[in-house]
C-alpha cells in the first residue's frame, strides 16, 4: 500500500494529468458535486457522492453512433467515435464501482456494445472508500462494502493522507506511475478508518433492508400485487430516479436529418415515460402503475432472474434523495416484503 500526503494531492493530480485525462468530483457553482476534467487549482469535493453517477463515462447521456452522408446514389457510412484517449476517474464510490459490473452484464455480452466496450478499455477507475456514509445509503443491502471499494485502484482518504493499492492490472500500472510522490505504508490508518465507518453504517436507518423476499422466480408473487396501485399513485413519471440511477441502462436511438445526410445518435430513455418502447400499435404499458411496476420488478426480480441472482440496484441512495414525491426502491421493497410475509 502506498501513502501520499494530503497536502500533495494537487501534485498527484498534476502527475496523473501529464499522461492521461483526469476527472475528479468537484463542487459546481450550484453546490452539487459532479465529475469534471481536472485543471490546475481545482479542488476535490468533500461531498459523499456526485449528484449523477460516474456511469456517464462509459454510457453517456447522449452519443453519436454513426453518420450517413449521401451523394446521389452513393452513401458513405462514417464512424464518428473519437474516444481513443486513456483517462482516469478518481474518487468513484463503491456503489458506483459496483454499478459498472452490472452495466458490463448488459453491454459486454453478445452482441457486444463496442461504444461502451471502447470506453471501458480506456478508463481506469480509482475508487475512494466512504468515511461518512449518509442516512440515504443502503449499499450494504446488496453486499457492497463501502470501506473496501473495488475498481482498478482502491483508495482511502484520511485527515492527513491518501492511501492507495492496486486491484487490477490497470491499477498496478497506475500505482507504478505515481510512486515518485508516494511512500510505502502499512494499513494501520486505513483499518482505523474502516472501523470508524462501520460504526456509522451500523446506525444508518436503512441498514436492515433485506433482499431475501426478492430475486429470480418472484414474478408471479409480485406482478399482480395490489400494492402497485398505492405505491405508484403519486408518481409523476418525471424519470428523475432513472436519470440519477447508476444502473439504469434504457436508451433510445434517433436519426437526425442534417440536410446533407443523417446523424444517428443514442440518448438515455426512461421506462417511466409514457412513450417508452412505444410501437406502431401503441405502448405496451399504458398506465403509470404499469410503468412504475416495470422499473422495480426489473431491478428486484427480472434482472436477478437472468444474472445469477445479482440485483439491479447498488443502494447509492440517489433516488431516495431526488424523488420529488419521496417514492423509491426502499419503500417498494419494504411494502412488498411485508405483503410476502403476510402470505
Please tell me whether residues 115 and 191 are part of one structural domain: yes
Examine residue 75 and state whether it is found in any structural domain, yes or no.
no
Among candidate residues 201, 234, 249, the one where a domain is terminated: 201
Please tell me whether residues 123 and 228 are part of one structural domain: no
Domain assignment of residue 281, given as a range: 219-341
The reported pLDDT for the residue numbered 260 is: 81
Closest of 200, 205, 201, 203 to residue 136, by C-alpha: 205
Among candidate residues 172, 201, 230, the one where a domain is terminated: 201
The Cα 192–Cα 199 span in angstroms is: 11
Q: Distance from CA of residue 244 to its chain's centroid?
A: 8
The reported pLDDT for the residue numbered 158 is: 95
Please tell me whether residues 283 and 170 are part of one structural domain: no
The reported pLDDT for the residue numbered 240 is: 94
Among candidate residues 168, 201, 234, the one where a domain is terminated: 201
Please tell me whether residues 12 and 104 are part of one structural domain: yes
- What would the grid cell of residue 312 be? 439491479
Examine residue 248 and state whether it is found in any structural domain, yes or no.
yes
Number of H-type helices and E-type strands within the chain: 12, 12
Please tell me whether residues 197 and 223 are part of one structural domain: no
Please tell me whether residues 223 and 196 are part of one structural domain: no
Please tell me whether residues 14 and 114 are part of one structural domain: yes
Between CA 337 and CA 127, with CA 103 as vertex, the angle to 5 degrees is: 95
pTM: 0.91
Examine residue 51 and state whether it is found in any structural domain, yes or no.
yes
Please tell me whether residues 12 and 158 are part of one structural domain: yes
Starting at the earlier edge strand, list the strands of the sheet with 21-27: 33-37, 21-27, 87-92, 123-128, 153-157, 161-166, 2-5, 183-184
- What would the grid cell of residue 322 be? 431526488
Q: Per this entry, what is the length of the chain?
A: 343
Examine residue 211 and state whether it is found in any structural domain, yes or no.
no
Examine residue 212 and state whether it is found in any structural domain, yes or no.
no
Please tell me whether residues 190 and 228 are part of one structural domain: no
Q: How many domains does the chain have?
A: 2
Give the pLDDT means over successive 10-residue stretches in the chain (343 positions).
95 96 91 93 94 95 92 87 86 97 96 94 97 96 96 96 97 95 93 96 94 95 95 93 95 90 93 76 77 95 96 97 94 89 60
Please tell me whether residues 128 and 98 are part of one structural domain: yes
Examine residue 67 and state whether it is found in any structural domain, yes or no.
no
Examine residue 233 and state whether it is found in any structural domain, yes or no.
yes
Examine residue 208 and state whether it is found in any structural domain, yes or no.
no
The reported pLDDT for the residue numbered 341 is: 65
The Cα 52–Cα 63 span in angstroms is: 17
Please tell me whether residues 141 and 40 are part of one structural domain: yes
The reported pLDDT for the residue numbered 283 is: 61
Helix axes 94-107, 114-122, angle to 10 degrees: 140
Please tell me whether residues 139 and 181 are part of one structural domain: yes
Amino acid at each position: 500500500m502506498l501513502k501520499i500526503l494530503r497536502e500533495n494531492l494537487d501534485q498527484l493530480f498534476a502527475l496523473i494529468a501529464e499522461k492521461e485525462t483526469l476527472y475528479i468530483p468537484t463542487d459546481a457553482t450550484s453546490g452539487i458535486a459532479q465529475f469534471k476534467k481536472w485543471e490546475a487549482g481545482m479542488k476535490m469535493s468533500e461531498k459523499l457522492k456526485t449528484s449523477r453517477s460516474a456511469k456517464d463515462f462509459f454510457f453517456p447521456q447522449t452519443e453519436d453512433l454513426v453518420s450517413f452522408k449521401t451523394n446521389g446514389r452513393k452513401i458513405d457510412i462514417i464512424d464518428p467515435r473519437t474516444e481513443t484517449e486513456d483517462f482516469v476517474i478518481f474518487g468513484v464510490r463503491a456503489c458506483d464501482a459496483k454499478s459498472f459490473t452490472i452495466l458490463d452484464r448488459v453491454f459486454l455480452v453478445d452482441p457486444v456494445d463496442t461504444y461502451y466496450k471502447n470506453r471501458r478499455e480506456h478508463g481506469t477507475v480509482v475508487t475512494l472508500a466512504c468515511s461518512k456514509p449518509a442516512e440515504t445509503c443502503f449499499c450494504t443491502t446488496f453486499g457492497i462494502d463501502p470501506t473496501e471499494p473495488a475498481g482498478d485502484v482502491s483508495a482511502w482518504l484520511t485527515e492527513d493522507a491518501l492511501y492507495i493499492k492496486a486491484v487490477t492490472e490497470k491499477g498496478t500500472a497506475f500505482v507504478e506511475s505515481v510512486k515518485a510522490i508516494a511512500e510505502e505504508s502499512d494499513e494501520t490508518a486505513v483499518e482505523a478508518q474502516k472501523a470508524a465507518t462501520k460504526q456509522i453504517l451500523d446506525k444508518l436507518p436503512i441498514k436492515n433492508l433485506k433482499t431475501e423476499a426478492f430475486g429470480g422466480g418472484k414474478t408471479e408473487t409480485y406482478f399482480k400485487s395490489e400494492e402497485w396501485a398505492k405505491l405508484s399513485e403519486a408518481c409523476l413519471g418525471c424519470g428523475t430516479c432513472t436519470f440519477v440511477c447508476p444502473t439504469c441502462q434504457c436508451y433510445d436511438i434517433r436519426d437526425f436529418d442534417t440536410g446533407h445526410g443523417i446523424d444517428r445518435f443514442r440518448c438515455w430513455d426512461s421506462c417511466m415515460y409514457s412513450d417508452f418502447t412505444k410501437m406502431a400499435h401503441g405502448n405496451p404499458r399504458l398506465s403509470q402503475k404499469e410503468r412504475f411496476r416495470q422499473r422495480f420488478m426489473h431491478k428486484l426480480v427480472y434482472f436477478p432472474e437472468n444474472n445469477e441472482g445479482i440485483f439491479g440496484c447498488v443502494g447509492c441512495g440517489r433516488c431516495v434523495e431526488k424523488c420529488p414525491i419521496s417514492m423509491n426502491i426502499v419503500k417498494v421493497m419494504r411494502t412488498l416484503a411485508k405483503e410476502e410475509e403476510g402470505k
